[in-house]
Structure 1
């Protein structure tokens, strides 16, 4: 008799997004020791300040957090992009990612991911309410080249670099 309620991935992400440490983003940071695409043990902190350990595999979504303001996208997490304007996102083809962005200035924003010819590959919902957070989940592909705001395409534009997809370390940088 299993009396515990089922919890989906979205609920877990919402419950843990209060204090997302860099370690949760294993596979999105260069700090995971150059793993081989296998299982990585990470530590995450929950809103109750307790610490739990769980495993992250390549099939789970990795999270990148950005802030949106007309002057440019602001890197929030992982640590490698924190505070950087329009950081480069290095993604592994075939890996699932969730990009969460928060409206910082109350202007209308929308995140698009495009290929080298400008064709839209992924598109988030838009938001113009300050403080609103929007999530976009997708599987990275080699065609991904840039991300930008539909309403501020010059100031809010960053590069996307894709690795070989051979299971190597996934890195998100701001260089």
Structure 2
């Protein structure tokens, strides 16, 4: 029995090793496909409510590849950053056309419909600026979007209760109906005997 195999065992091992190395390197560098699929919600870290206290104006630059955060500082330079709004408060969202394409700004709910008609007209002149005023933030505000470029220009809105707790009526801080600090709980007040 003679062998008619022109490839030696040593050559076969070299080819197998080279193929395995190529597959390994390709697997390590294939992350780039996922890069554009996020909407920028990381903002370089967590959304801390204390970082958003006192914020009344949010500023973006609108470009076809996404909203670029300008202000406040926690969104500066971020693409489609998540913004934190406090329920019941008012905000101005100002945006500048950064590329001369037609853009607008809408605040939408889970159904991708504008909340309370919060939408600007489209504008297409580079450098032009618009401000959208939110009179009162509501919990159904989920995203901000440019309708003509809705797949690229979309960011998340996180709505929270104001961190100060208000006057105690809803927060449970000192309101007698919640049982925190009133005479009937037996927490060191007059009714304890």
TM-score by length of structure 2 reads 0.55
Q: Please state how far the C-alpha of 1:165 moved relative to its aligned partner.
A: 4.1
Higher helix share: 2
Q: Please state how far the C-alpha of 1:164 moved relative to its aligned partner.
A: 2.1
Provide, for residues 90-126 of structure 1, a one-character-per-residue CA deviation record: whole Å limited to 9, x for no partner.
1001110000000000000000111112121111222
Root-mean-square deviation over aligned CA pairs: 2.0
User: Is 2:156 the counterpart of 1:159?
Assistant: yes
Provide, for residues 61-98 of structure 1, a one-character-per-residue CA deviation record: whole Å limited to 9, x for no partner.
81000000000000000000000000001100111000
Higher strand share: 1
| Higher CA-based Rg | 2
Q: How many residues align?
A: 114
Question: Partners of 1:119 and 1:128 in 2: how far apart?
Answer: 22
Helix, strand or coil at the partner of 2:84:
strand
Question: Partners of 2:141 and 2:164 in 1: how far apart?
Answer: 18
1:119 to 94, 105, 113: 113
Question: Partners of 2:77 and 2:110 in 1: how far apart?
Answer: 26
Deviates more, 1:156-165 or 1:78-87: 156-165
Provide, for residues 7-51 of structure 1, a one-character-per-residue CA deviation record: whole Å limited to 9, x for no partner.
xxxxxxxxxxxxxxxxxxxxx87176xxxxxxxxxxxxxxxxxxx
User: Is 2:153 the counterpart of 1:132?
Assistant: no
Report the counterpart of residue 74 of structure 2 in structure 1: 80
State whether residues 73 and 157 of structure 1, in contact with CA within 8 Å, keep that contact through their aligned partners in structure 2: yes
Report the counterpart of residue 145 of structure 1 in structure 2: 142
Q: Within 5 Å, which residues of 2 pair with 1:1-175? A: 30=51, 62-121=56-115, 122-138=118-134, 139-165=136-162, 167=164
Give the gaps of 5 or more residues in structure 1. Answer: 1-27, 33-55, 169-175
